[in-house]
Amino acid sequence: MERNFTPSWRPRGGGAAGVSAGGGSGRPPTSFGSDYQHSNTFDGKRVRKAIQRRTVDYNSVVAKYLENRTVNRDPREPLNTQPDNNFVVEMPPAFATRHNPAVSIATKFVHTSINKIRCPINVLKWTPEGRRLITGASSGEFTLWNGLAFNFETIHQAHDRAIRSMIWSHNDTWLLSGDDSGKIKYWQSNMSHLKEFTAHKESVRDLTFSPTDTRFASCSDDGTIKIWVFAEAREERTLTGHGWDVKCVDWHPQKALLASGSKDHLVKLWDPKSGNALSTLYGNKNTILALKWNQNGNWLVTASRDQLLRVYDIRTMKELQTFRGHKKEVSSVAWHPYNESLFVSGGSDGAINYWNVGTEFAVGGMEQAHESTVFSLDFHPCGHMLASCSNDHTTRFWARNRPGDVMHDRFSQTRKDEEFMGIKEVTIADKKSEEFSLPGLSFGSGGIFSKTPEKEGPDSKRARLDDSVRGSPKAAPPAPRPMIPPGMPPGMPPGPMPPGFRPPPNMPPGFPFPPPGALPPGFRPPPNMRPPPLPPGPLPPGFPFPPGMRPPPPMMPGGRPPPLPPGFPPNMDPAAFMQHLAQQAVPVNKNNPKK
What sign does the CA torsion over 355, 359, 364, 367 have?
A: positive
> Which of 224-232's residues contact partners 24+ apart within 8 Å by CB, and which partners?
224/200, 225/249, 225/258, 225/260, 225/270, 226/199, 226/200, 227/272, 227/275, 228/184, 228/199, 230/169, 230/174
Look at residues 505, 437, 511, 404 and name the one whose alpha carbon lies nearest to residue 82: 404
User: Alpha carbon of 382 to those of 96, 208, 365, 434: distances in Å?
Assistant: 10, 21, 20, 33
Q: Report the C-alpha gap between 161 and 141 in whole angstroms.
A: 9
Helices (H) and strands (E) in the chain, counts: 5, 28
List, for residues 6-28, the tens digit of each pLDDT value. 333 333 333 333 333 333 333 33
pLDDT of residue 465: 32
Residue 322: CB partners within 8 Å, gap ≥ 6? Answer: 308, 309, 310, 311
| Cβ-proximal residues to 470 (8 Å cutoff; 6+ apart), any chain | 327, 424, 434
- Cα(334)–Cα(322) distance, rounded to whole angstroms? 16
Count of C-beta atoms within a 10 Å radius of residue 513: 18
Q: Pairing mode, if any, of strands 364-366 and 352-356?
A: antiparallel
Q: For 129, what's the count of Cα atoms within 13 Å in the CB-facing half-sphere?
A: 8
**What is each CA distance from 383 to 93, 126, 339, 342, 387, in whole angstroms?**
8, 11, 9, 11, 11
Contact at 8 Å (CB) between 245 and 221? Answer: yes
> Which pLDDT score is estimated for 375?
95
Residue 109 Rama label (left phi>0; alpha psi -120 to 50; beta): beta
| pLDDT of amino acid 211 | 93
The residue among 155, 56, 39 whose CA lies nearest residue 106 is 56
Say how many residues make up the chain: 595
Please compute, for residue 592, the number of CA atoms within 13 A of its CA located in the half-sphere on the CB side: 1
DSSP 34-52: TTPPPTTS--S-PPPPP--
578 φ, ψ to 5°?
-65, -40
Q: How far apart are the first and last CA of the chain?
A: 102
The single-letter DSSP state of residue 4 is -
SS3 category, 298: coil
pLDDT at 76: 65
The full 3-state SS of 527-588, as one line of letters, equals CCCCCCCCCCCCCCCCCCCCCCCCCCCCCCCCCCCCCCCCCCCCCCCHHHHHHHHHHHCCCC
pLDDT, residue 543, reads: 62
Give the torsion through C-alpha atoms of 486, 492, 496, 498, to 10 deg: -160
The beta-carbon contacts of 129-133 under 8 Å, at least 24 apart in sequence, are 129/172, 129/381, 130/380, 130/381, 130/382, 133/378, 133/387, 133/395, 133/397
Tell me, what's the pLDDT at 350?
A: 92
Q: With contact defined as beta carbons under 8 Å apart, do 219 and 205 qualify?
A: yes
Is the CB of residue 58 less than 8 Å from the CB of residue 31? no
Q: What is the pairing mode between strands 121-126 and 132-137?
A: antiparallel
Q: Would the pTM of this model clear 0.75, i.e. be above it?
A: no
Q: Which residues of 144-170 are buried (b: 16+ CB within 10 A; e: fewer)?
A: bbbbebbeeeebeebbeebbbbbbbbe
Burial (CB count within 10 angstroms: exposed 0-12, middle 13-18, buried 19+), residue 186: middle
Quick one: which H or E segment has residue 467? helix 467-470
DSSP 312-325: EETTTTEEEEEEE-
Cβ-proximal residues to 563 (8 Å cutoff; 6+ apart), any chain? 556
Summarised one tens digit per residue, pLDDT across range 521-550 is 666 666 655 555 555 555 566 666 656 566
542 contacts: CB under 8 Å, gap ≥ 6: none
pLDDT of residue 497: 54
Digitized pLDDT (tens) for each residue of the chain, 595 residues in all: 443 433 333 333 333 333 333 333 333 343 333 444 444 555 566 666 777 777 888 888 888 888 887 777 776 666 677 888 888 888 888 888 888 888 899 999 999 999 999 999 999 999 999 999 999 999 999 999 999 989 999 999 999 999 999 999 999 899 999 999 999 999 999 889 999 999 999 999 999 999 999 999 999 999 999 999 999 999 999 999 898 899 999 999 999 999 999 999 999 999 999 989 999 999 888 999 999 999 999 999 999 999 999 999 999 999 999 999 899 999 999 999 999 999 999 999 999 999 999 998 999 989 889 999 999 999 999 999 999 999 999 999 999 988 888 766 667 555 555 555 454 444 444 444 444 333 333 333 333 333 444 444 443 333 333 333 333 334 445 555 555 555 555 555 555 555 565 655 555 555 555 555 555 666 666 665 555 555 555 556 666 665 656 666 666 666 566 666 665 666 666 567 667 666 665 454 555 544 4
